[in-house]
Amino acid sequence: MLEKTNLLGAITAIAFFASAILVFALRLLGKSQYEHWIGYFEFLLAIPLIYLLIQAPQLRRPALYYIQIGCMLAWLILEALLDYILKIDFRNVRWMVISYVVLFFAGTGGLLGVASNAGRGWSISAIILFLIMAVLTFVQRAITGM
């Protein structure tokens, strides 16, 4: 069970990084109309994350594991509220953007920790995708302002 749970965490992390890379690349290509559909996919990733939290006590995960997954879930909730439910244009309010980005990187950084439980290969893959995602995050923000 431990191995399957670790693999689920790694696949979830890599799926998130890949979807985030796709969002940022589409923004750079001027095709931001597709990002909402990718966002729905990212919201679905909350399901395995919640499952990982439910399994965590049986697997005797450390407190950091709960924080890592909790930050990602908190960002997903914030994203749903701001962009999908309330539709608040917050990206022009500096303090909101900074808070949003800090939570985003806390969550995605936490996913690196979750992926690392599955082994070195999964960890390296997650790190590479995380770095690509991080660079694209700031490049697309500088170019598009989004």
Neighbours of 133 (CB within 10 A): 21
Question: pLDDT tens digits for 27-39?
Answer: 999 998 899 999 9
Q: Are 25 and 138 in contact (CB under 8 A)?
A: no
- What are the residue boundaries of the structural domains of the chain, listed by start? 2-144
Torsion angle, alpha carbons of 72, 73, 77, 83, to 10: 30
17-61 pLDDT, tens per residue?
A: 999 999 999 999 999 889 999 999 999 999 999 999 999 999 999
Residue 32's pLDDT is 85
Q: Can you give the pLDDT at residue 1?
A: 86
Start-to-end CA span in the chain (Å): 41
User: What is the rounded average pLDDT of the residues 124-138?
Assistant: 98
pLDDT band at 146 (very low <50, low <70, confident <90, very high): confident
Burial bucket for residue 75 (CB in 10 Å: 0-12, 13-18, 19+)? buried
